[in-house]
Amino acid sequence: MLVLLLEDEKTLAQLVVEYLAEENIECNHASNGQQALQLIINNEHDVIVLDINVPGINGLQVCEQVRAQGVNTPIIMLTARDALSDKLAGFKGGADDYLVKPFAMEELVARIQVLAHRRQRSSVIQVGDLEVIIDEKKVQRNGVVVHLSPDEWRLILLLARKSPSIVNKIDLEDEIWPQGAPSTDAFKMLVYRLRKNIETNEDSPLLHTIRGVGLALRVN
């Protein structure tokens, strides 16, 4: 399990990271909102833990921005604020849970595990206005079903599960063609067909090619 922690108090952050490690939970730590946003883009986290009161881009703003980008990773707001209005603002911004300082480490771990397991059981992955319905092997955008070939389905499922992270080309090829990598043209054609199927002139782009690296399914 991989967790992101946004916390600017160094002592507390170190305690949390070390405690999570003892529970076999890996932790990426960010001390400010900009670092947190970059880590969220570049990694696939199971749970995100955000302290609201950090300098610059605060935790609530990070939450709002990642939700606007289509990131559906569970988020716990971690803060000393305990007013009802602050909690409601966090939930309105897209948070899934709220933990007030000071807190017990055992409770933080329990909440992380509950949210992570709930996400694993979810049969629907949403990226912006695109829904990937795993149990039915169905994709729809703005409520309209998108018809995909088996290879296109495997490609978008992998990208959706990793969203908003970049998935490198080798991993994509291994998933779709486990018996051996196809020609470069075959891979390009598959990506072209998938993009054509999930994006029209009126839709905002979701499938992004990162030159020399791979693909990412995300808003913006």
Cis peptide before 164 (omega within 30 of 0): yes
pLDDT in tens, 185-206: 888 999 999 999 999 877 789 9
Mean pLDDT, the chain, whole residue set:
88
pLDDT score, position 181:
67
Burial class for 22, CB neighbours closer than 10 Å (0-12, 13-18, 19+) = exposed
In percent, the amount of the chain with pLDDT more than 70 equals 97
Under CATH, to which class is 2-121 assigned? Answer: alpha beta
Dihedral angle computed from the Cα positions of residues 80, 119, 17 and 78, in that order, rounded to the nearest 10 degrees: -10
pLDDT in tens, 106-131: 999 999 999 988 776 667 888 888 99
Fold that domain 124-217 belongs to in CATH = Arc Repressor Mutant, subunit A (1.10.10)
pLDDT in tens, 135-167: 788 999 988 999 999 899 999 998 988 888 888
What DSSP state is assigned to residue 192?
H
Q: Which residue has the higher pLDDT, 49 or 220?
A: 49
Domain boundaries, the chain: 2-121, 124-217
Position 19: which residue type?
Y
Position 212: which residue type?
G
**pTM given for the model:** 0.64
Residue keyed to tokens 């199927």: 197
Distance separating alpha carbons of residues 207 and 214, to the nearest angstrom: 11
pLDDT score, position 120:
65
In the predicted model, what is the mean pLDDT of residues 76-88? Answer: 81
Pair of tokens at residue 208:
């992004």
pLDDT score, position 122:
61
